Chain A
Amino acid sequence: MAGSIPASATASTGAAAPRVGPWREAWRRFRKHRLAVVSLVILSVLVLAVLVGPFAWQVPIDEIDFTARLQGPSWAHPMGTDDLGQDILARVLYGGRISLAVGFAAMMVAIFVGVLVGAVAGMAGGRIDAGLMWLTDLFLSLPQLPLLLLIIYLFREGLTQVVGQELGVFILIVIIIGGFNWMQVARLVRAQFFSLREKEFVEAARALGASRLRLVVRHILPNALGPVIVAATIDIAAAIIAESTLSFLGLGFPPDVPTWGRLLFDAKDNLDFAPHWALFPGAMIFLTVLSINFIGDGLRDAFDPRRVIAS
């Protein structure tokens, strides 16, 4: 209210309840979701750790020390060491950057493509809808692994020459994982659009002369997003795991780049005598996926004003 004339300001608010914007209201509701808040804290700590951790824990990720092979957690190596004596904490911190970045970026690609395809199909109907759904089914039925092999074989060289090895592989992996995970979202969004566009509040907006874009952006999409948010959190988890699979097959990042998935697969042969090796990266994936899921639940509830949230 700064800058306004005090008299008019008090007159206009009067007995009215304090006005809150939709974002502040959503934040207020989100805070009441205890698990979501705890999860948000955990995820923030994880993100912060992988961002600044490598600067604080300055042990190199590839320092080989055969005198300290497969050691359990100690002060020198809080998460132990692997079969080459490399420090697992340093590798987990560094790998988290890649895993989290791949997870979020691939989720964004999947959600973007999925919402776009679903929205266009749901709004257009008829032949366009039939064509897009045909495309969706096609993607669902494609054998993914041989195709991944082919795509990476075809494009890795060219892309890495242009933007450098790590970035090139990153872009490729994000596009591939995102490009093979949008189908569920598209179907979800299309179904939501079909039911929502017949609703009376959409009809009312049409009667007011709202454009198609406005109908979609203001009325249909916001009401369709609940399940999409949940799907998005699952997609992040799926992407982190998919990246592990790719790395394992030698299709992802080079073997010397530690990602969480890569660390897990490297550890699997040593589970009997060095369980800590698998435990720590596994716990990271577990914590990330779980907290993202809870945050998704919290977000869905916070953005749905109908849902009464008990304090």
Chain B
Amino acid sequence: MAQPLLSVRNLVKRFPVRGGVLRRVVDQVHAVDGVGFDLASGETLGLVGESGCGKSTTGRCILRLIEPTSGEVRFEGRDVCALTGNELAAIRRDMQIIFQDPFASLNPRMTVGSIIGEALEIHRLAKTRREREAKVAELLETVGLRPDHMSRFPHEFSGGQRQRIGIARALAVSPKLIICDEPVSALDVSIQAQVINLLEDLQEKFGLSYLFIAHDLSVVEHISDRVAVMYLGRIVEVAPSRDLYAQPLHPYTEALLSAVPIPDPTLKRERIRLQGDIPSPMNPPSGCHFHTRCPIAEKGLCDVAAPDFREATSGHWVACHKRG
């Protein structure tokens, strides 16, 4: 494979937990614990996992909205973590983010025109006011809104429309990579499909790459080329979308897949129920993070050593002692 667009290696983020009178660091939350993956140009990588497993933190670390504790993020070969000042501002033209909550992600005091136009302003992509407005109008049409929506405020729109505004804002700087942080989780199912289709159309039109973060496997299956499954700060399985859904290797992936509802009430299927709760990321289990809930865990092996990440079949990677 040629040089990947985005390459993440051993990404770690620990949040300090402060306590006591002196506000000393008493503990750490291991939000992201050695995540690594590649993303090719024009590809969509789905990133799934339960709430709190570190998906969003991973996305924000890549953009350096959160400073990673350690690890390497390379965008087109350049080390994002080493950039400062102007270089960092420049690379932000290439990487953008779409947020989960369309009500929190738009400044309620700015018109839609100035929300989208701000990106053009910051990066000086429009010389005159008229040029900027023309570009904003074009962006609004690209995401399926009307140019005269420009003078309105975010609260005048529905959730789906607001999400489109968020997408237009991300598109304004013509990025190469967009990190979609659960972009449809807050929307109605009927609207979800519209937004997903819009994202796919845009990908085709502009050659975008997506890191698509979600907790809904059926949404991810539809849009992703490859899917990475995260559990408690680590990636446990990466595979081409079809492979993963047809032949999940990791027991956690199996359990996740068995929880996806099938729109056919007559169809019976074995449901794998995981025991217990997700362990605290403040104190993750030894060895394989999943061994406390794993149906096939072996004492003396899984609770001692963390499994290597290895390629089971071509392009299908898994981190499990017992499978693959």
Is B119 positioned at the interface, with any CB of A under 8 Å from its CB? yes
Q: Which residues does chain B contribute within 8 Å of A304, judged by CB atoms?
A: 108-109
Is B271 positioned at the interface, with any CB of A under 8 Å from its CB? no
Are A203 and B99 in touch, CB under 8 angstroms? Answer: yes
Are A200 and B96 in touch, CB under 8 angstroms? Answer: no
Is B147 positioned at the interface, with any CB of A under 8 Å from its CB? yes
Is B195 positioned at the interface, with any CB of A under 8 Å from its CB? no
Closest to B107 in A: A201
Closest to A4 in B: B130
Are A209 and B148 in touch, CB under 8 angstroms? Answer: no
Contact-residue bracket for chain B: 20 to 34
Interface string of A272-311 (1 = CB under 8 A from B): 0000000000000000000000000000000111100000
Are B111 and A22 in touch, CB under 8 angstroms? Answer: yes
- Interface contacts beyond A208-B122, A208-B123, A305-B155: sample of 11 additional A-B pairs, CB < 8 Å, sorted by A: A17-B151, A20-B151, A201-B106, A204-B106, A206-B65, A207-B63, A207-B65, A207-B92, A222-B107, A222-B109, A305-B109
Interface string of A1-27 (1 = CB under 8 A from B): 000000000000011110110100000
Are B173 and A208 in touch, CB under 8 angstroms? Answer: yes
**Docked complex: B85-121 residues within 8 A CB-CB of A:** 88-90, 92-93, 95-97, 99-101, 104-111, 118-119
Is B245 positioned at the interface, with any CB of A under 8 Å from its CB? no
Give Cα A56 to B155, complex, Å. 50
Is A214 positioned at the interface, with any CB of B under 8 Å from its CB? yes
Are B107 and A208 in touch, CB under 8 angstroms? Answer: no
Are B65 and A16 in touch, CB under 8 angstroms? Answer: no
Closest to B86 in A: A209
Q: Which residues does chain B contribute within 8 Å of A17, judged by CB atoms?
A: 148, 151
Q: Which residues does chain B contribute within 8 Å of A15, judged by CB atoms?
A: 148
Is B251 positioned at the interface, with any CB of A under 8 Å from its CB? no
Is B166 positioned at the interface, with any CB of A under 8 Å from its CB? yes
Is A205 positioned at the interface, with any CB of B under 8 Å from its CB? yes
Give the most central of B88, B109, B147, B148: most A CB within 10 Å.
B109
* Min distance, Cβ B199 to any Cβ of chain A, angstroms: 17
Contact partner of B108 (CB less than 8 A), chosen from A206, A208, A210, A306, is: A306
Are B92 and A209 in touch, CB under 8 angstroms? Answer: yes
Contact partner of A218 (CB less than 8 A), chosen from B110, B119, B169, is: B110
Interface string of B135-178 (1 = CB under 8 A from A): 00000000000011001010100000000001001000100000
Closest to A226 in B: B109
Binding site for B on A (CB under 8 A): 14-17, 19-20, 22, 199-201, 203-210, 214, 218-219, 222-223, 303-306
Q: Which residues does chain B contribute within 8 Å of A223, judged by CB atoms?
A: 107-109
Binding site for A on B (CB under 8 A): 60, 63, 65, 88-90, 92-93, 95-97, 99-101, 104-111, 118-119, 122-123, 147-148, 151, 153, 155, 166, 169, 173
* Min distance, Cβ B155 to any Cβ of chain A, angstroms: 5
Q: Which residues does chain A contribute within 8 Å of B63, judged by CB atoms?
A: 207
Give Cα A89 to B108, complex, Å. 48
Assess A201 versus B122: contact at CB under 8 Å? Given A14-B148, A209-B93, A222-B109.
no
Closest to B134 in A: A12
Q: Which residues does chain B contribute within 8 Å of A203, judged by CB atoms?
A: 60, 65, 97, 99, 105
Give Cα A203 to B107, complex, Å. 11
Give Cα A200 to B170, complex, Å. 13
Give Cα A199 to B119, complex, Å. 18
Q: Which residues does chain A contribute within 8 Å of B166, judged by CB atoms?
A: 204
Are A207 and B147 in touch, CB under 8 angstroms? Answer: no
Closest to A222 in B: B109
Closest to B95 in A: A207
Are A201 and B105 in touch, CB under 8 angstroms? Answer: yes
Closest to A223 in B: B109
Q: Which residues does chain B contribute within 8 Å of A207, judged by CB atoms?
A: 63, 65, 92, 95-97
* Min distance, Cβ B163 to any Cβ of chain A, angstroms: 12
Assess A204 versus B169: contact at CB under 8 Å? Given A22-B111, A219-B107, A223-B108.
yes
Give Cα A282 to B159, complex, Å. 52
Closest to B109 in A: A222
Give Cα A10 to B90, complex, Å. 37
Are A305 and B99 in touch, CB under 8 angstroms? Answer: no
Closest to A18 in B: B151
* Min distance, Cβ A221 to any Cβ of chain B, angstroms: 10
Closest to B137 in A: A12
Contact partner of A200 (CB less than 8 A), chosen from B92, B99, B122, is: B99
9 nearest A-B pairs in the assembled complex, by CB-CB distance: A16-B148, A209-B89, A200-B105, A209-B92, A305-B153, A200-B104, A201-B107, A200-B99, A222-B109
Give Cα A208 to B97, complex, Å. 9
Give Cα A222 to B108, complex, Å. 10
Closest to A126 in B: B23
Give Cα A304 to B151, complex, Å. 15
Give Cα A218 to B99, complex, Å. 20
What would be 25 A-B contacts, judged by CB atoms less than 8 Å apart?
Answer: A14-B148, A17-B151, A19-B151, A22-B111, A200-B99, A200-B101, A200-B104, A201-B104, A203-B65, A203-B97, A203-B105, A204-B97, A204-B169, A205-B107, A205-B118, A207-B65, A208-B92, A208-B122, A209-B123, A210-B122, A222-B107, A223-B107, A223-B108, A303-B109, A304-B108
Give Cα A219 to B107, complex, Å. 7
Assess A214 versus B107: contact at CB under 8 Å? Given A15-B148, A16-B148.
no
Contact partner of A209 (CB less than 8 A), chosen from B107, B122, B147, B153, is: B122
Assess A208 versus B119: contact at CB under 8 Å? Given A16-B148, A20-B151, A223-B109.
yes
Assess A208 versus B118: contact at CB under 8 Å? Given A17-B151, A19-B151.
yes
Are B169 and A208 in touch, CB under 8 angstroms? Answer: yes
Q: Which residues does chain B contribute within 8 Å of A204, judged by CB atoms?
A: 97, 99, 105-106, 166, 169
Give Cα A15 to B111, complex, Å. 18
Q: Which residues does chain A contribute within 8 Å of B92, judged by CB atoms?
A: 207-209
